[in-house]
A and B are shown apart, each in its own frame.
Chain A
Amino acid sequence: MADEGALVDERIEKLLSGFGPDTDPKEFWGRQYDLGLAWVHFKEGFGGLGVKPKYQSVVQDRLEAAGAPVGNRELNLLGIGMGAGVLSAHGTEEQQRRWLRPMFTTDEIWCQLFSEPGAGSDLAGLSTKAYRDGDEWIVNGEKIWTTLAHVAKWGMLPVRTDPDAPKHRGITYFIVDMKAEGVDVRPLYQITGEAEFNEVFFGDVRIPDDQRIDAVGAGWRVAMTTLMNERVAIGGKILPRESGAIGIAVETWQEYGLDDPVLRDELARLWAETEAMRLTTIRAAEMRKVGVPGPEGSTGKLAWADLNKAITAFTLDMMGWDGTLFPGGYQKVRPTSIGDPKARQKQFLRARANSIEGGTSEILRNILGERVLGLPGEPRVDKDIPWKDVRRG
């Protein structure tokens, strides 16, 4: 244990000794990867040191304190936050060697091609198909809600390879080149007027078999690993006290010089609930340091979604008539990174998606009930019949 800590410390020193105000962030991230400080629990030579995952937070804290660049996780959230975990758990060494470093340096942005128009919460119901043609697979279908698809180089793509198998068993998982012929990315404008997401169409797209992750038909397992990582990446972030939506609410209270007992009571209620949730994410992170991501991530995401919606709505209430304005108007733009919108009205609108994206709150409640509390599952009508016979729409 002491050895592990000392090793991490030594590598951090080494990384920071080469860091100056002129350091190019991408070069810095490359060195961070080479020194095994990208994902410390990964193998040596693959961005890690083979030490306990808890040391990653030591690395992050030290780099942030030193003013070193840490923005790559945000720029390539789906790659670094989710794709890396997938490659580490299910990829071959060759696949890890090929993809992990450029992912970490943000030279290659990743996206996640899960949702389909006919399969949102019911991920295993997906219809995008692939069939084998020699050393390649040919993909046809349509994905939706793909964040950053318009800037991504690689996409994580579960597809149906066996329509005759029950739906969870006929899926295979690929990494697809988003610049390949036949991949058509179109902006999907949302409630805020912006196109943070995309629709992605696949028309006879060829994927080499060496870009298949895990076995043919094992895609569901890989997808689950992705989602576990996603819920942690979305809901598990530990923020300082009074930051995020509640921080903005408190600022709004001050900015408007409010002194209303009813508003005060509501603000204090939301503040307390946010802090309790924050402390839960800290507790969940402590658990995670000793093992793999568990269901704690689901409570975080569920609670955060509800609170974020409540707080952003309440913030407009505190603004009175100003809440009816929309500074800047609705702009049809395509953001290239995942960031929080600035205007409070836009935050109110964006928050509507929190209880839908990355697993709806209804699905998460089922997961908590069934997997954490051990309650009996919903009756299933679609489990043991061939996918092609399941009713969809």
Chain B
Amino acid sequence: MLRETTRRFLEDRADSMVVRDLMEKPDGYDSELWKAGAELGWHGLAIPEEYGGIGFGFTELSIVVEELGRALFPGPFLSTVVMAANAILIAGSEQQKQEFLPDIAAGERIMTMALFDGPHGADPSDVAMRATATKEGWVLDGLKRYVAYGNVADTLIVAARTESGVSLFLVPGDAAGLRVSIVPTLDATRRETDVSFDQVVAQGLLGREGSAGPVIERILLLANVALAVEQVGGAQWCLETAVEYAKTRFQFGRAIGSFQAIKHKCADMLVAVEHGKSAAHWAARNADDEAETRIASPMAKAVCSDAYVGAAGETIQILGGTGFTWEHDVHLYLKRAKSTSLMFGGVRHQRRLLAKALGF
């Protein structure tokens, strides 16, 4: 039911023409569609009722994420609803929960997490930026990279080091000394920004000083579950597109799907996508189980990254020249696939995490 209404909404209101249009716009999202999504309940699905949400869990949220991935829907959903909302739920004070969560659920607040300073950031130990205590409060200096939708974020959650370790800081999007620049991305449907901090005074800490390591770790695991689910949505679109084309494209007097070379390619894609679906759905259903998530998240991210990159690549191959054109949508999926596989730790990092969780 949730899946059908979400898909129908995206097909009606956010088809590939809309996606391509948003891709070219500097904000990289549409505030009306953002609000409309919130009205459908997407944003508050996994936020408890006492904070203005619907009170379901990650499983329901993941259904929306999968459909967003299928439609390549551009917007700060992952950064706001999956990451920031969960960071606040896990580490925030009662007052912070009251302040931020209802706004997120209502689609009135965009948030993002600025975690890493360098290209290989994938866990809390990769946080390098420093925060200094002053009379006015915590002051941040440095550069955060790969910040999703920093250009439209009302509030940023910034990871930085203090004497006692890694901490998370809340920073208003319009804070003095904060400069956001949009960087061109491989996947143009997803905005990434560089955010520089020049003596930026934080609004406050999220959680206790020096105790953010486990919070970041948990958020990264959840982000990767969400990405895996999103990858399944995209990979499924690729599979359907390839199969449809193989049935209707004729060469040598035959539908190309009647050639074993193509048929086997499609069958292999089906197997990979089905395995991805199983892994991602399992991880989403067990997202509340911290121990299982340590296994299920990297497992799902690794399996789904390979399935999606593979499906997008093979779909281009099956479509032949058509698949290589800007006009056909499949290139957008390849770009999303490769890009998501590299976010929050690539496939090899995920396998490393999995091996660690399994005691190898």
Tell me if B334 and A393 are in contact (CB < 8 A): no
Known: A120-B251, A352-B334, A381-B253. A328 touches B184 (CB 8 A): yes
Tell me if B348 and A260 are in contact (CB < 8 A): yes
Contact count A vs B, C-beta below 8 Å = 145
Known: A262-B348, A319-B119, A326-B186. A122 touches B252 (CB 8 A): yes
A95 at the B interface (CB under 8 A): no
Task: Give the segment of B77-85, B135-143, B254-262 that binds chain A.
Answer: B254-262
Tell me if A125 and B252 are in contact (CB < 8 A): yes
Tell me if B119 and A352 are in contact (CB < 8 A): no
Residues facing A in B54-93 (CB within 8 A) are none
Q: Which among B121, B251, B335 is the interface contact of A122 at CB below 8 angstroms?
A: B251
Expressed in whole angstroms, the Cα–Cα distance for A73 and B132 within the complex equals 61
Known: A260-B348, A355-B317. A321 touches B145 (CB 8 A): yes
Task: Give the segment of A43-51, A176-184, A189-197, A285-293 that binds chain B.
Answer: A189-197
Task: Give the segment of A204-212, A232-240, A296-304, A309-317 that binds chain B.
Answer: A309-317
Tell me if A191 and B334 are in contact (CB < 8 A): yes
Tell me if B317 and A115 are in contact (CB < 8 A): no
Tell me if B248 and A325 are in contact (CB < 8 A): no
The interface residues of chain A lying within 8 Å CB-to-CB of B356 are none
Expressed in whole angstroms, the Cα–Cα distance for A313 and B145 within the complex equals 22
Residues facing A in B312-360 (CB within 8 A) are 313, 316-317, 320-321, 323-327, 331, 334-335, 338-339, 341-343, 346-348, 351-352
1/0 contact trace for A301-344 toward B, CB 8 Å?
00000000100010011011111111111100000000000000
Tell me if B184 and A353 are in contact (CB < 8 A): no
How many residues of A are in contact with the other chain, CB < 8 A?
A: 55
Tell me if B317 and A360 are in contact (CB < 8 A): yes
Tell me if B259 and A320 are in contact (CB < 8 A): no
The interface residues of chain A lying within 8 Å CB-to-CB of B321 are 115, 120, 144-145, 353, 356-357
Tell me if B317 and A324 are in contact (CB < 8 A): no
What is the minimal beta-carbon distance from A104 to any residue of chain B, in angstroms? 30
B183 at the A interface (CB under 8 A): yes
A390 at the B interface (CB under 8 A): yes
Expressed in whole angstroms, the Cα–Cα distance for A119 and B6 within the complex equals 39
Closest to B186 in A: A326
A269 at the B interface (CB under 8 A): no
Tell me if B259 and A317 are in contact (CB < 8 A): no
Expressed in whole angstroms, the Cα–Cα distance for A145 and B321 within the complex equals 7
The interface residues of chain A lying within 8 Å CB-to-CB of B342 are 316-317, 319-321, 323-324
Closest to B343 in A: A324
Residue ranges of A at the interface with B (Cβ–Cβ < 8 Å): 115, 118-122, 125, 144-145, 188-191, 193, 256, 260, 262-263, 309, 313, 316-317, 319-330, 345, 348-349, 352-353, 355-357, 360-362, 365-366, 378, 380-382, 390-393
12 A-B residue pairs with Cβ-Cβ distance under 8 Å, sorted by A, are: A191-B325, A256-B119, A324-B187, A324-B192, A349-B186, A349-B334, A352-B316, A352-B334, A353-B324, A356-B323, A361-B317, A378-B252
Interchain residue pairs A-B with the least CB separation, the first 3: A382-B253, A329-B184, A189-B326
Known: A323-B342, A382-B252. 15 other contacts (CB 8 A): A118-B250, A191-B316, A191-B324, A191-B326, A191-B331, A191-B334, A317-B342, A317-B347, A320-B121, A321-B342, A326-B185, A349-B334, A356-B320, A361-B317, A380-B253
